[in-house]
């Protein structure tokens, strides 16, 4: 793509056009436009605004207050919120749409926590305790002695 085309993609994306709309307008395939959007560092998902705030809930609506409080906690996944509210995933989506809650990116709760640092001693001890199958041991020996040289001769 030319620099003029990149500028056009930036301008059209700023106007909130979808990838398909931009591709149609420019006569390019959607893959090319998606790649250009990523290369320009533009948002790939127009539904998600990372700065969107959760609106205030009606204090008389206990369900809404609880939902809004959980929704504002970015550490919770959609599944966590649904479980906490006693809802199915689909019911949670309908409630979020009803109350006008902003779109959330998919999060995996088990990947959020930073793993503990592993010391070199722990790593060595872990590797030493591995029991390799006879096949793997033979394969390692073959690689060490230059298996490919052996086969070639």
* pLDDT tens per residue, range 17-44: 888 889 999 999 989 998 888 888 887 7
* pLDDT tens per residue, range 55-108: 565 666 788 888 888 888 878 888 888 888 888 888 888 888 887 887 776 554
What is the model's pTM? 0.37
* pLDDT tens per residue, range 113-129: 455 566 666 655 555 55
Which alpha helices (H) appear in 1-133, and where do they start and end? Answer: 3-14, 19-26, 30-39, 62-72, 78-85, 89-99, 109-112, 120-128
User: pLDDT tier at 111 (50, 70, 90 boundaries)?
Assistant: very low
């Amino acid at each position: 793509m030319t620099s003029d085309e990149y500028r056009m993609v930036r301008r059209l994306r700023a106007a909130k056009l979808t990838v398909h709309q931009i591709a149609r307008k420019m006569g390019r395939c959607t893959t090319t436009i998606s790649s250009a959007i990523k290369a320009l560092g533009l948002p790939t998902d127009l539904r998600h605004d990372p700065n969107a705030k959760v609106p205030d809930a009606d204090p008389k609506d206990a369900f809404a207050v609880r939902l809004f409080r959980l929704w504002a906690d970015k550490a919770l996944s959609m599944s966590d919120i649904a479980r906490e509210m006693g809802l199915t995933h689909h019911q949670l989506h309908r409630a979020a749409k009803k109350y006008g809650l902003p779109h959330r990116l998919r999060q995996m709760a088990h990947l959020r926590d930073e793993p503990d640092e592993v010391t070199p001693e722990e790593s060595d001890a872990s590797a030493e305790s591995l029991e390799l199958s006879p096949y793997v041991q033979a394969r390692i020996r073959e690689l060490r002695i230059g298996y490919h040289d052996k086969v070639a001769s």
